Amino acid sequence: MRQQRLAVRSLMSVVALAMLASPAPAQLMPPKPAAVVDGTAITMVELEALLKQAGPTAAPLTEAQRRQVQRDALEMLISDLLFQQTMRQTGRRVAVAEVEKEVTELAQGLVKQGKNLADFLKESSMDEAELRSRIVTRLQWESYVHDRFTEADIRKYYDDNRDFFDCVAVRASHIVIRVAPDAPESERQAARARLQALRQDLLAGKIDFAEAARKYSQDTSAANGGDIGYFPRKLRVDEVYARTAFALKIGEISNVIQTELGMYLIKVTDRKPGTSSDYNQIKEDVRKLCTEETMSNLIAQRRKTARIVINIP
């Protein structure tokens, strides 16, 4: 409007009248972030960049599927931020010179590939500040792992999780009552009591497990009598669930257990023994899984105390 008044003086009176007759335009507000984690925002630009990196899907998504993909991507960004925050609190201090050395080495490596740092940043949807922040986190994590895990620790992890490394698998069925993690204690107790009573009926032979699952389970597996197929000791199901299932004999029914998704009764229906593994041959895989599980546990612990506000549906 200012340019118009300077260029066309005859319109000044018209513009002034229009301004008097119309309300002032509302100040443009910045868009809400996708989420805020302990005061740090995850922007919609960051979320869209991550979704773009994933590439197009094989088939068009429904609106519900699109929202789920978006929510899953946001959970990845939240976990990443929680991990960075954890390392800033518990990790060692990283000198600026260390970071610059890493950036220089990265740039030199890119030149050999016919690229430069700007190309890399564009492909990775990040700026130099974020790159340096990620380098700090990686260096802190490497030091964290080095200081806490000895060869004996890795061997113990292997021994404690031998079922996984030997590729043992169990097949299980379950009955679920959905209970949110933040549900009131009264709701939790009611769900637990309901499943405990059902377990007594199952043990007494008053009802078949598959029939009970079809009738009472609040899970998509209910249509299959609660059967969820075979799964390994780790990575496929919740840790509490897996630990409980692998401790059961074929045909046994667990006590009531609770995960973030609700209350469960589990029945193991089969077990595959797997093949004996050689620690010396898979040592590096064991170390990798051990450290990855440690990272997941750190993020989970941080999540319990973090204030997370999600602004997408």
DSSP code, position 250: T
Q: Is residue 152 part of a domain?
A: no
Which structural domain range is residue 209 located in?
167-272
The series of mean pLDDT values per 10 residues for the chain, 313 residues long, is: 38 32 47 92 91 80 86 92 94 94 94 91 87 94 93 95 96 93 88 96 96 94 94 92 96 94 95 95 95 93 92 87
What is the enclosing helix (H) or strand (E) of 169? strand 169-178
Q: Is residue 191 part of a domain?
A: yes
C-alpha dist (Å) from residue 306 to 45, 146, 152, 204: 22, 27, 33, 45
Cα 267 to Cα 87: distance, rounded to the nearest angstrom: 40
Exposed e or buried b per residue across 232-255, where buried means at least 16 C-beta atoms within 10 angstroms of its C-beta = bbbeebeeebbebbbebeeeebbe
Q: What is the pLDDT of residue 28?
A: 53
Q: Is residue 86 part of a domain?
A: no
Q: Is residue 217 part of a domain?
A: yes
CATH number at residue 246: 3.10.50.40
3-state secondary structure of 62: coil
Q: What is the mean pLDDT of the chain?
A: 88
Nearest partner of 126 among 113, 139, 116, 117, judged by Cα:
117
Tokens of 268: 């193991």
Asked whether the beta carbons of 177 and 191 are under 8 A apart, the reply is yes
Q: Is residue 114 part of a domain?
A: no
Q: Is residue 211 part of a domain?
A: yes
H helices of the chain, in order, are: 2-7, 12-21, 44-54, 63-90, 96-112, 117-124, 128-148, 151-160, 162-165, 185-203, 209-216, 239-247, 279-305
pTM above 0.95, yes or no: no
Cα 195 to Cα 71: distance, rounded to the nearest angstrom: 31
Q: Is residue 199 part of a domain?
A: yes
Q: What is the pLDDT of residue 10?
A: 39
How many distinct structural domains can be found in the chain?
Answer: 1
Q: What is the pLDDT of residue 7?
A: 38
Q: Which residues pair with 272 in a beta bridge?
A: 169
Predicted confidence (pLDDT) per residue in 245-288, tens digit: 999 999 999 999 999 889 999 999 999 999 999 999 999 999 99
Q: Is residue 255 part of a domain?
A: yes
Give the list of residues 6+ apart from residue 46 with CB closer than 8 angstroms, or none: 34, 77, 125
Q: What is the pLDDT of residue 287?
A: 95
First vs last C-alpha separation in the chain: 38
Nearest partner of 131 among 170, 169, 105, 165, judged by Cα:
105
